Copies of this chain bind each other. A is one copy, B any other.
Amino acid sequence: MNEKKVKIREVGPRDGLQNERQWIETEDKINWINQLAETGLSYIELTSFVHPKWIPALADANEVVKGVKRNKSVSFGALVPNERGLERALQVGIDEVAVFLSASETHNRKNINKSIKETINILKPVVYQAKLADKSVRGYISTVFGCPYEGNVNVQRVIAIAQSLLELGVDEVSLGDTTGIATPNQVEAVLQELARKISLETIALHPHDTRGTALANVFAAYRLGVRTFDGATAGLGGCPYAPGASGNVATEDLVYLLEGLGAQTGIHLERLVNCGKWIQNKLKRNLPSHHLQIALASENKEGFHQ
């Protein structure tokens, strides 16, 4: 194992765009994903097979997956909520499957109208079928570091859910700081407790930069041995609990930090920044990525609405 090698999971096309109010044309999504695939990213989450009633912004999931140019160096994933979603995803041909649930009972119920236990039962055949089809599966756990409804989330509950996912056959568990409230000591505490039961090689961190702490949390996790991190190019994807505030950490900023720490991301930062410019231009509003704003500023463009 190369200790300096890190895996970046690009979730911009799915997690970044899913709450987007503006409709992005399918051909634009495909064009943008094709650009992202040329930056050195090894994983791109293309879309979601959640019913379009719930995520209208990604109603063109089939067309997006079919339209993207395949590239052997990139694994293309999609989010699926249940067996029906998996079936659709497998039909159009995805490389990886992502499933999701919450560490907080209230958040899980608000999000998918099921208890955590019910959700795990729903995911069981999904993961089974996905593995039968020889797909890697990642499992997102949200509200790991706190819940907007319940407040504190017990780390033992997080560990139990992660263990359940791994027992189902999930290959990688991504710990989500859904509302961006984590600080590095909390990240350390959760990871240290988790590491007593689960190898950190199977763990990813999904940081949100809502309070500016995303890269501090990534630094803490990297130091403890986590080598997989989720980001969204341009910092796409606001926090659903605070419209206007930032959500996903920008992949560009994540790459800068990790390379600065001596890690190898394999990503061409300038190309990634160009992908950020492209999507900002499409959305016609300033996006939170620091590197994107520096690049626009140095071209004497101050972005939109400044």
Counting CB contacts under 8 A, is A294 at the interface? yes
Within the complex, the shortest CB–CB distance from A158 to chain B, in Å, comes to: 18
Report the minimal beta-carbon distance from A281 to chain B, rounded to whole angstroms: 15
Question: Which chain B positions have C-beta within 8 A of A246?
Answer: 290, 293
Contact of A219 among B220, B250, B256 (CB under 8 A): B220
A245 → chain B closest CB, angstroms: 4
Determine whether the beta carbon of B291 is less than 8 Å from that of A211.
Answer: yes
Q: Please judge, given known A-B contacts A185-B262, A219-B220, A261-B185, whether A303 and B244 are in contact too, CB under 8 Å.
A: yes
Most buried by B among A186, A209, A212, A300: A212
Given contacts A215-B216, A218-B216, contact A294 B260 (CB under 8 A): no
**In the complex the two chains form, is B243's CB within 8 Å of A302's CB?**
yes
Residues of A in contact with B, size category: 35 or more
Given contacts A212-B290, A291-B211, contact A296 B257 (CB under 8 A): no
**Which residue in chain B gives the minimum CB-CB distance to A249?**
B212
User: Among residues 210 to 241 in chain A, which have CB atoms less than 8 Å away from a CB atom of chain B?
Assistant: 210-216, 218-220, 239
Give the complex CA separation of A106 and B178 in angstroms: 44
Q: Are B210 and A294 in contact (CB under 8 A)?
A: yes
A243 to B143, CA, bound (A): 36
Given B245, B298, B303, B305, which contacts A294 in the complex, CB threshold below 8 Å? B245
Known pairs A183-B257, A244-B297, A245-B294 / 7 extra A-B pairs, C-beta < 8 Å: A184-B257, A185-B261, A210-B294, A213-B253, A216-B218, A244-B293, A245-B293
The 8 A-B residue pairs with the shortest CB-CB distance, nearest first, are A183-B260, A305-B305, A244-B297, A244-B302, A212-B253, A212-B290, A242-B297, A216-B216
Chosen A-B contacts, 21 in total, with CB atoms closer than 8 Å, are A183-B261, A184-B219, A184-B257, A185-B261, A185-B262, A210-B294, A211-B294, A212-B215, A212-B250, A212-B253, A212-B290, A213-B215, A213-B253, A213-B260, A215-B215, A216-B216, A216-B219, A219-B219, A244-B296, A244-B303, A304-B305
